[in-house]
A and B are shown apart, each in its own frame.
Chain A
Amino acid sequence: MDAITSNLGLFASGFWGTIVLSFFTMVGSLIFGTVLAAMRVSPTPVLRAAATTYVNVVRNTPLTLVLFFCAFGLPYLQISFGNTTDQVSFNYAVLALTAYTSCFVCEAIRSGIATVPLGQAEAARSIGLTFTQSLRFIILPQGIRTVVPPLASVIIAMVKNTSIASGFNNKELISAMNGVIELRGDQVPLILAGTAIAYLILSIGLGQIFGLIERKVRIAR
């Protein structure tokens, strides 16, 4: 047990790192994903084409490759954000995870928009709402409520995906685990189990929270 207890600080900071990385990615990809979804249903063909191309390209690229590009490619182009090395790595990771997760958020929201009954949109138009207004006040509020379950799985998958950032100089659960294993190679199974439990706490906890939200916002049709 002492491999876990004596390195609790390292594990805690890794756990916190995963949470912070997930939080910023979640906020970013929800915003950017909604924008992409709005573009994909907009009346302007150019916007539709741009968003569709983006989603199809990034969704079919492995996340490891996206992270690889941000962490190793962007420095070549002299694009970096932040002052310390840790900060720069963190921002690259948030950028890559957001760019990738947004595609899945976009697709989830788009499928939600499709579930809104036709009459709702027709009613919105008949009272004179513009495209933006009907999207903002009528369609999206209903569409987003019906997509809580698929969005939840996108977010949970994203939290698990933050593990890949460990390969690109980020401090999170997997890098903490690798660090502890280097110190205590004799207790590998225990350390693995500890890390697994940490991830299960996150994914099961998030599942519970999203379940609550789903029950609260469900629309009776």
Chain B
Amino acid sequence: MSASQVLFDAPGPKARRNNVIISIVAVLLLLGAIAWIVFKFAEAGQFEASKWSPFSYTDIQGVLLKGLGSTLLAAALGTVFAMLIGVIFAVGRLSTKRWISLPTTIVLEFFRGLPVLLLMFGVYYLGSGKVSPLVAVVTGLALYNGMVIAEIIRAGVLALPKGQGEAATAVGLTRGQTLRTILLPQAFRSMLPTIIAQVVVLLKDSALGYLVTYQELLYAINNIGRDYQNLLPAFIVGAAIFILINLLVAAFAKWLERRLSRSPKKIK
């Protein structure tokens, strides 16, 4: 039963009437709010065709595409390195040797406690102009999200039935082999939807690149907006692109989750 159904009965005649009244009031308030926003936009002249027509020019579309490409490049590189860092740190934290697990935990908690932007600025400044903004963005994204993914993978391994590890030990696999061939693949699989949700976070955080002069989508939006005096339309177009990509990734995660959950290989 969903949360919303817990709270109220099937509505009777009085509740239905109240519901209609509340709905009408809510619709009026919402319409009012939308009308006010539209009015504000119109007042500022943001609906004029000249503000929107630039988006039909091929060179503007080119600028947007180039920005989008840079955003996706940073996000893709960030994801690959975050996965690598995630697996390495998850294994480190799961180690039974204290001299491995303790420093791993400290480093992990350190990077997880910092803003991504600080990590990006850190690389940017430490490289003192010799590293490209892309490197700063990717390092920041990979370090922070890698630590988060490490915790996700670790939680996945800990959630596996104990028998999996015991059986692996019983057939003579070493600790490392058990992790690599038995535990990690299962944990990765069961945690894949959560990991993809983290990739959405990573993709959104790539917009931070704007602040460290990486020329990504937001940078392109800003440039178009300043050149054509249409910052708000540019903003709306850019937001739509970001939202679309994120919803696509989230839908992919949902599809994957459904697919994995009906897999015949599932362990009882």
Residues of A whose CB lies within 8 Å of any CB of B are 40-48, 50, 56-57, 60-65, 68-69, 72-73, 76-79, 110, 113-114, 116, 118, 121, 125, 131, 134-135, 139, 160-161, 163-164, 166-167, 174, 177-178, 181, 188-189, 192, 195-196, 199-200, 203-204
**Contact yes or no, B26 A68, CB < 8 A:** no
Which 4 A-B residue pairings sit nearest by Cβ, starting from the closest? A62-B207, A163-B115, A60-B246, A160-B115
A-contact 0/1 string along B230-260, CB 8 Å cutoff: 0110010011001100110010000000000
Q: Which residues of B contact A46 (CB under 8 A)?
A: 22-23, 26-27, 30
A-contact 0/1 string along B68-105, CB 8 Å cutoff: 00000000000000000000000000000000000000
**Contact yes or no, A76 B242, CB < 8 A:** no
Q: Which residues of A contact B30 (CB under 8 A)?
A: 46, 50
* Chain B interface extent, by class: 35 or more
Check A68/B114 contact, CB under 8 A, given A41-B7, A43-B8, A60-B242: no
Between A and B, 5 residue pairs with Cβ closer than 8 Å are A76-B46, A110-B3, A113-B3, A131-B8, A204-B113
**Contact yes or no, A139 B7, CB < 8 A:** yes
Check A118/B218 contact, CB under 8 A, given A46-B23, A76-B46, A199-B114: no
CB closest chain-B residue, reference A61: B239
Q: Which residues of B contact A177 (CB under 8 A)?
A: 118, 121
CB closest chain-B residue, reference A204: B113
Q: Which residues of A contact B27 (CB under 8 A)?
A: 46
For the complex, would chain B's binding face be called helix, strand, loop or mixed by DSSP majority?
helix
Check A64/B118 contact, CB under 8 A, given A72-B231, A125-B8: no
Q: How far is A79 from B30 in the complex, measured between Cα atoms in Å?
A: 19
> Cβ of B6 < 8 Å from any Cβ of A?
yes
Q: Which residues of A contact B44 (CB under 8 A)?
A: 76-78
Residues of B whose CB lies within 8 Å of any CB of A are 1-4, 6-9, 11, 15, 19, 22-23, 26-27, 30, 40-41, 43-44, 46, 110, 113-118, 121-122, 125-126, 128, 200, 204-208, 210-211, 218, 221-222, 225, 231-232, 235, 238-239, 242-243, 246-247, 250
CB closest chain-A residue, reference B244: A60
Highest count of chain B CB atoms <10 Å: which of A40, A42, A68, A167? A68
Contact of B4 among A41, A62, A161, A196 (CB under 8 A): A41
Q: How far is A181 from B118 in the complex, measured between Cα atoms in Å?
A: 13
**Contact yes or no, A62 B3, CB < 8 A:** no
Highest count of chain B CB atoms <10 Å: which of A40, A77, A114, A174? A77
Q: Which residues of A contact B2 (CB under 8 A)?
A: 114
Check A65/B242 contact, CB under 8 A, given A178-B121, A181-B125: yes
Contact of B115 among A76, A188, A199 (CB under 8 A): A199
**Contact yes or no, A174 B235, CB < 8 A:** no
**Contact yes or no, B4 A203, CB < 8 A:** no
Q: Which residues of B contact A160 (CB under 8 A)?
A: 113-116
Q: Which residues of B contact A73 (CB under 8 A)?
A: 231-232, 235
Chain B nearest Cβ from A37, distance in angstroms: 9
Q: How far is A48 from B211 in the complex, measured between Cα atoms in Å?
A: 36
Q: Which residues of A contact B6 (CB under 8 A)?
A: 113-114, 116, 118, 121, 139
Q: Which residues of A contact B26 (CB under 8 A)?
A: 44, 46-47, 50
Q: How far is A161 from B117 in the complex, measured between Cα atoms in Å?
A: 8
CB closest chain-A residue, reference B4: A41
Contact of B211 among A43, A60, A134, A164 (CB under 8 A): A164
